[in-house]
Every structure is written in structure tokens, then in C-alpha cells.
Structure 1
Amino acid sequence: MSKVVLVTGGSSGIGKAIGEFLQNKGFVVYGTSRNPSNYKNSKFPLVALDVTKSNSITQCVEEVLIRTSRIDVLINNAGAGITGPIEEIPEEEIKRNFETNFFGPLNVIKAILPEMRKQGSGIIINITSIAGYMGLPYRGIYSASKGALELITEAYRMELKPFNIDMVNVAPGDFATNIASGRYHAPAKEDSPYHPNYANVLKMMDDHVDDGSDPKQMAQAILRIINTSKPKIHYKVGAFMQKFSIVLKRILPDNIYEKLLMNHYKL
């Protein structure tokens, strides 16, 4: 019997690439979007979901279970970018980002776990970010929300062992997607004490996304994880130097690593 996969944030970008790839490999795929009617040409069914609203999560999971009677794989991909000097980002935007990138995935997991326990199996794949392994200038809130999901997965995974349910993180680097268009940007004000540094870093980030890797690499990595009998806790997918930056953080003194980051961002 084909495994049933639920991909949150499946209407575009990495989520869409994962959903299409897995469907072509024989999986039964359902994606989610806040407004499925906007994506009538989706190659797999989209179910309405806003991860910041508990009733929306409950309705989404119930709808998929009515159609399929099981969920074997949850891919927690829905997320949002945010940039800006931490001092200048409004508190409500910080909270909104954590609601989407941290609390949202946790609540989707909570909604699906009872069914996976009943099945006696399942795998939950949280899409985090290489940015979650380090505090990056003008991306501090994003780094923090993704880093929180990375860490809580380590604890959650151990709690789920008795139920034969796996949980892993997959941290992508820069991929060619439309994430920049949906990202919250604190305005790069010319009278800000952080100008022009923030403006320059913002342009660099957008250029990195435009020159990013093919999202199909993420889809291929997800397939390998699903087919692995004993998946690892952490996976990184992206350009060599982006993945190597995590290794450097482990082995270099903090001040040296900080200097490398500041040089990279021309600060």
C-alpha cells in the first residue's frame, strides 16, 4: 500500500518540489496552502491550512484522514522568512514568525501523533534551515525560530521512540524559490543607525536565493530519509560551503567564527 504523505506549505517552492517528486515515486501526496483555490493547477491535492490557527490544523488533519484513513509521513515545511535589525523589528512580527516557524509545526505534530501511534509507525520530517545553526546578522529572528525547531526535535524524537515514530530535521541552505517575496522585511530606513549595513546584507540574501540550488535536491533527500530504516537526527542539504559553515562553527573559537561571518556579510 502506498504511503500517505502530508506536506505543509505544499503550494510552492520546496514543498511543491517535494510533493511532486514523491507523487511521481508512487506516494499518495497531500499538500497544504492557506488558499488552495489559488493553485488550481497543483499536481497533487491541496488542503486548506493555516498553521497559526489550531482549528485550521484540526480540520486539515481530519480531512486528510477522511480521504486516506492514515498519514505515514508528515513533512513540516510551512514557514516564513523575516529580516531586519532585531532592535527595529516590531514585536508582533517576531511573534508572528515564531507562530509560523515554531509553534505551528509543533501543533501540526500534536494533531497527527495520535493517528501515528494508532498505526504503530510514522515519520515526521521538520524542514528547518542551515541558518538555524548560527545567529546570522539581520536574520536573527529567523535563525532563532528555526534553531528552536532543530533543538526541540532532538527531545521530541527520544520521547517518540517507544511508539516506533521517527522525527528528523532537514536543514536546507539557499534554494531557488520565491521565499524572498513572502518574507517580512523590516524597512531599510536611511535614517536608521543600521543603514547601509542592513540594506547591503538584504540585497546579498536575495541574491543568494536567486542563485540557489534546485529544490529537487531537497525532494531527493526527503525520499532517501523516508526509505531509511534508521534515519539520523539532523540532515543538511545545500551548497558545500553552507554545510561546511556548520562544521566550522563547531571547531573554531567563537570570536574567529564571528569574524568570518562579519567578513562574509561585509560588516
Structure 2
Amino acid sequence: MTLQIDTLAYTNRLRQLPPEHKLLFAIALLLLTYCTRAPIQLAIAVWLSVWTVIYAKIPAPIYFRLLSIPIGFWLTSLPALIISGVGLANLSSVQADVWQGAPWGSYYLYFSHHGIHQAGELAARAIASTACIYFIILTVPFTEILDVLRRLGCPTLLIELLLLMYRFIFVLLRTASELWTAQQSRCGYRTWRLWMKSLGLLVGQLLRRTLENYRQVSLALESRGFTGDFRVCHSRRYQPSRRYSLEAFFGCAFLAALAGWQYAVGL
């Protein structure tokens, strides 16, 4: 999936737009997400989905599969948010917050009105903020993000660390895939006991091979006179789109005005 995401970042239909425009657009919407309430957050998520799936031509199954990840985390936290309990003697103090409930021993378990409202707000914010992050990940290659950070004056050490971490993600995935395939071919996951043993061997070998690969990369850099600064070529010429720029500007302005109206009327 990570390799596929990286491929989409280089081949999407918004690839020709300047990366700083896309970053500014996504960051502005991310800030709006944290300053607004559920209806506007859902509108941001839908609007960004249009940008990602329709404008950038990211395959809808891949996008919604990625979007299901935060939804899955939200579902796991749902019981803790909406289910509350209180002693039967104190039931009258929470009666206004009870939606549905039933006694269980000396306690009363119930679905909380406040918890349901809180869960809804959390879901809207999580989906909207994740849509902002996915827009960046799926439309802006990581090297271009680093280039923007470099031009903004971000410390060189931080940029180099990010580049190395990004490089070793692919090394880690390739090594894990090779080890997994080798173990599967030898029926290493046939039973639960073999599954646990094979998983432990995989993690140990993965660490060893990753460290060995890192040592080889370090030796290769030293042999080529590495001075502590990675240079990445950016020969691609970008083509700003007036139509996309206007849509992004007026859309953000409309959402900001709508958020201000919401707070003014107390919705």
C-alpha cells in the first residue's frame, strides 16, 4: 500500500500544480477543521474527497480504504465514549443524560446523550483532518514536501532525517515482504505456535537486515565524499491553475465565513 501511495503521488492529475499551493490549501482546511464544528468538518471532508478522487483521479477504492483506517480506530473507542455506568443509588443524578439503559448488578449501564454527541464530533473531526492529510500524501511527493521545507528555512538536519526515514520505509517493507514470502513457502504460519515463532524470527531478521542495509548506505555515502547534505533534483516545471486557485480560495473563504456565522448564532 505504501508503494502504491507513493506511485499515486507522482502520477495524479494535480501533479503539475505547485506543491506549496497544495500544502497551503490542505493546511488552511486543517486549521479550519480544528476551529469549526461537525457540519463544517463534514463539508470539508466531502470537498476534499472531491479534490482527491475527482480532480486528482485517485482511485476511489484506495481512497476510501485509507479513510476506513481512522473510522476503524473511532469504532474501537466508541463503547468507551457512549456507554456510561452509575450506581443504582445515584441513578437520579444522571437521568437527564440517559438515552437507553439497563441495570447490571448494583450498577446501571446506559447510553449517554453527551457521549453520543461527543462521539459524533470526534468522528467528524477525525475524518476531516485525515482527509486533509491524505490530500497531501496522495497529491504531493515526499521529496517535494522536503523541498518546500528547505525553502522555508527548516533545519537541514531535520530534513535529512526525514529523507532517510522515508528511504528506509521502503527498505523495511521490501525486506519484510521477502522474509514473509520465504516463511510462507516453508509453512511457517501453519499453526498458532509456528505463527508466533515465525513472527519472532521475522522481527529479529528484519532488524538485523535493516541495520546491515543502513551500514552499507553509510559506507557508500562516505566513499562518495558525503558532506552531510542530500541534494535532490527538482527539474519539473509546475503550472499553476487559475481555476483551481480560485476554487480553493473562495471555498476556504466561504467555509471560514460559515464558521464565523455558526459561532455568532451559537450553533
Greater relative contact order (CA < 8 Å, ≥ 6 in sequence):
2
- Name the larger-Rg structure: 2
Give TM-score, length-normalised by structure 1: 0.24
Could you tell me the TM-score, scaled by structure 2's length? 0.24
More helix by percentage: 2
